[in-house]
Chains A and B, each alone.
Chain A
Amino acid sequence: MIEVEHLSKNFEDKKRGIVRAVDDVSFSCQPGEIFGLLGPNGAGKTTTLRMLATILEPSSGTARINGFDVRRQAQEVRRSIGYLSGSTALYERLTAREMVTYFGSLYGLTASDIESRISEIFNELDMNEFADSRCDKLSTGQKQRVSIARTIIHRPPVLFFDEPTNGLDIITARTIIRFIRRCRNEGRTVVFSTHIMSEVETLCDRIAIVYRGQIAAVGSLEELRDRTGKQAFEQVFLRLIGEEDEEDRDGGKSDDSRNGSLINSTEAAVSAVSTVREDRR
Chain B
Amino acid sequence: MTMPKQTFVRPTEPRKARSNVVWTIFFKEFREIFRDRRTVLSVIIGPLIVTPGIFALLGIAIGKKVEAAKLEVYKVGIVAPQASPRIADALGKTPGLEIQTVTAADAAKQIKERKLSAAAVLPVDAEAKIAAGNAVPVQILEDAGSETSRGAVGRIQDSLSHLGTQLITGRLRDNNLPADYATPFVVTEKPIEQGGSTAMMILSQMLPYILILSAFTGAIYAAFDQVAGEKERGTLETLLVSPASRRDIVLGKFGAVVGVCLISSVLAIIGFMLPFISHLKVFDFLTQGNIHLQPMAIGVILLVLLPLSVLFAGLLLAVSTFARNQKEAQTYLGMLFPLIAIPSVLSMVIGDNAGMGVALIPILNASIIIKQALNGTYNLTFILVAFGVSAAYAAFALLCATYLFQKESVLIKA
Contacts and interface: CB of A to CB of B under 8 A. Distances in A.
B4 A154 contact: no
B414 A81 contact: no
Contacts of B1: 124-126, 175
B3 A91 contact: no
Contacts of B237: 55, 83, 85, 87-88
Contacts of B11: 66, 76, 79-80, 154, 156-157
Interface in B191-240: 233-235, 237-240
A106 B9 contact: no
Contacts of A186: 5-6, 8
B414 A106 contact: no
Interface range on chain B (Cβ under 8 Å from partner): 35 or more
Interface string A48-72: 0010011111000000001000000
- Count chain B CB atoms within 10 A of each CB in A124, A126, A150 and give the residue with the most: A124
Interface stretch (B14-22, B261-269, B312-320, B356-364): B14-22
- Count chain B CB atoms within 10 A of each CB in A53, A55, A98, A175 and give the residue with the most: A55
A75 B13 CA distance: 10
A92 interface: yes
Contacts of A152: 4, 6
Contacts of B278: none
- Looking at chain B's contact residues, the main secondary structure is loop
B190 interface: no
A238 to B, nearest CB: 27
Interface string B385-414: 000000000000000000000001100101
Nearest to B3: A182
Contacts of B409: 11-12
A132 interface: no
A55 B240 contact: yes
A89 interface: yes
B183 interface: no
B173 interface: no
A170 to B, nearest CB: 15
Contacts of B12: 108
Nearest to B245: A75
A232 interface: no
A142 to B, nearest CB: 11
Contacts of A11: 409, 414
Given A21-B414, A75-B245, A103-B242, A124 B5 contact: yes
Interface of A: 11-13, 21, 47, 50, 53-57, 66, 75-76, 78-81, 83, 85, 87-94, 98, 102-103, 105-110, 120-121, 123-126, 150, 152, 154-157, 175, 178-179, 182-183, 186-188
Given A90-B235, A108-B12, 7 more contacts: A47-B414, A78-B243, A106-B24, A125-B4, A157-B9, A187-B8, A188-B6
28 contacts: A50-B412, A53-B241, A55-B241, A55-B408, A56-B412, A66-B10, A76-B11, A78-B241, A81-B241, A83-B241, A88-B235, A89-B235, A93-B35, A94-B31, A98-B28, A103-B238, A106-B25, A106-B242, A106-B244, A121-B4, A124-B3, A124-B4, A150-B238, A157-B9, A157-B10, A179-B3, A186-B6, A187-B8
